[in-house]
Structure 1
């Protein structure tokens, strides 16, 4: 038990720092006065890639949920680590896309406009909230603190799934404007 407490002394502050730094870094990068086209990709390339990653992550989250309900803990762990890796790739790619491209305004009208903004705003807010939830859930699972893992995973799963699915929806809303 003391070994876990020692790891908590390192892991918990690191998770808290990352949970603050990551959303702040994304916010700063979204508001850069100048863009730096790092890879020279077409405008729609990043959003398509992000939608693909988000959709894949959503699929893996559902598979992971099914696996844990069936008692397949090792497969669940591997699927969830893969979902985490995909989300990490998404985050790096998203930051690169924000450095590379100006934000694209939504051009829709009518009832789609408020629906789009509801989906977008809830997606953005929950994207910031999901960072510490995922990090703590992963940490508790990997350190075999299953009671704590299950307790936080009950919140993490639906929010992470919502963020992943709404990431795809935002792409679909924006598709005509890329």
Structure 2
């Protein structure tokens, strides 16, 4: 008996829900934790901002590759993007477990622009988690029509999160 792509996807549904809820909660909780005896990891923000920039470039490259029909390269790039996003998240949490949050020191309209970008970045970084996972599961399950359908939603959200991560870093970096 052959298993359909839809049946393959169902076994991942519970994990998608668990991770989509657990990751944001874990990040929020870990923000309140300080690692005793560990010095501030102030070198991490430019590294994870660079990871965001690389992710953005790779996301665009992956779309170009799939449009050219190069599915293998597309798949490798997307797996790299997922890995980079996980690496970003680990570094981001480690930084905040060793350092107090940095306040934005800009004034006037720049302050409102910063907070708008930051707020949308945070909200969409939470929102993109299930989209990325569902998109990935549809691909590995071989459900390419449904993969393509949700990827059209996932791509711009993920790209926005990656690009605004860099913008937020650049805007707050003078105040570290």
Q: Which residue of 1 aligns with 2:68?
A: 70
Q: Which residue of 1 aligns with 2:123?
A: 125
Q: Which residue of 1 aligns with 2:39?
A: 40
Q: Which residue of 1 aligns with 2:22?
A: 21
After TM superposition, where is structure 1 displaced by more than 6 Å over at least 4 residues in a row?
A: none
Q: Which residue of 2 aligns with 1:136?
A: 134
The offset of 1:142, in angstroms, is 1.4
When normalised by structure 2's length, the TM-score is: 0.93
Query: Aligned equivalents of 1:104 and 1:16: distance in 2?
Result: 32
The offset of 1:6, in angstroms, is 4.7
Query: Aligned equivalents of 2:100 and 2:26: distance in 1?
Result: 16
Contact 1:119-1:170 within 8 A present in 2 as well: yes
Q: Which residue of 2 aligns with 1:56?
A: 54
Paired residue secondary structure (2:174):
helix
**Structure 1 pair 171–7 and aligned structure 2 pair: CA distance change class (3 A):** same
Query: Aligned equivalents of 1:55 and 1:38: distance in 2?
Result: 31
Q: Which residue of 1 aligns with 2:92?
A: 94
Q: How large is the Cα RMSD of the aligned pairs?
A: 1.6
Contact 1:37-1:101 within 8 A present in 2 as well: no
The offset of 1:172, in angstroms, is 0.3
Query: Aligned equivalents of 2:28 and 2:120: distance in 1?
Result: 16
Query: Aligned equivalents of 1:22 and 1:121: distance in 2?
Result: 18
Q: Which residue of 2 aligns with 1:108?
A: 106
Contact 1:57-1:86 within 8 A present in 2 as well: yes
The offset of 1:159, in angstroms, is 0.3
Paired residue secondary structure (1:104):
coil
Contact 1:19-1:132 within 8 A present in 2 as well: yes
The offset of 1:35, in angstroms, is 1.8
Which blocks of at least 5 consecutive residues in structure 1 are unaligned? none
The offset of 1:7, in angstroms, is 3.5
